[in-house]
Amino acid sequence: MQDPSAGHLATQATSSFIEHLQRSRPELLPFSQALPAGQIPPVPHATTIVALSYPGGVLMAGDRRATMGNVIASRHIEKVFPADEYSVLGIAGTAGLAIDITRLFQVELEHYEKIEGTLLSLDGKANRLGAMIRGNLPMAMQGLAVIPLFAGFDQAAGVGRLFSYDVTGGRYEELEHHSVGSGSVFARGALKKLWRPNLTEDEAVAVAVEALYDAADDDSATGGPDPVRQLWPVIYTVNRAGARRVPERELAAIAGAIVESRTVAGREA
């Protein structure tokens, strides 16, 4: 027999899955948990994410290292995810909580599409992500902050756009490029030198890999290309055709070329 509560929940459903959970099962939200008193134990943190625009699209890349204090917690973590067909999300901060928020955001966008029969606008997606980050503020004040980077293809305008956030959920549209995480200051310096207008998609991918390489060179929490373990950054491009993950064989070739060119240069810094 059908659960009597199911019909009640269906009548209360809205186009926002998060709002639906807040009404019916708030304890399931990742940022609605009460933390016990005392010091928070060490938890893995995700670090450097870079994003940049190019004619016709936008790109986001993340390294593969997670740290826990002075320890490498993982060399295989993925920090960039497709949010839906035309947008991607990169995470920095408390890794476990960030991944839960990412999954919830993916469900939120899918739920909206099923209820409304259309995709949410890019601005609408960016605003909803900001509201989720704002909901996590109590956890952030206790040391479990999540700082995302969001990018997507604006179908109405025909351009790629990217957005950064602060811990209060403040949303800021960035132009040309941006980076978040512990290695962001070094990655952003590289992006300022390497980014230029009219980059091709392949050139944009190479710029992102080199920016992450520079971040890993100076930030111990950022992992560089690892040819021994065959580990490369996770990179997504988003354009009119949708989101696409760049194959690892392409990244291996690009990383190899960067290492070779720097070896030939023989510079110390």
Token pair for 156 = 């109405």
- What is the DSSP secondary structure assignment for residue 226, as one 8-state letter? B
Q: If DSSP codes are grouped into helix, strand and coil, which group holds residue 133?
A: helix
* Rounded CA separation 130/163 (Å): 10
Is 47 tagged catalytic?
yes
**In contact, 18 and 28? CB cutoff 8 Å:** no
State the angle between helix axes of 248-265 and 201-218 in degrees (0 to 180), rounded to the nearest 10. 60
The one catalytic residue among 14, 47, 48, 222? 47
Q: How far apart are CA 22 and CA 269, in angstroms?
A: 51
Closest-CA residue to 146 (of 189, 105, 187): 105
Residues labelled as active-site residues: 47
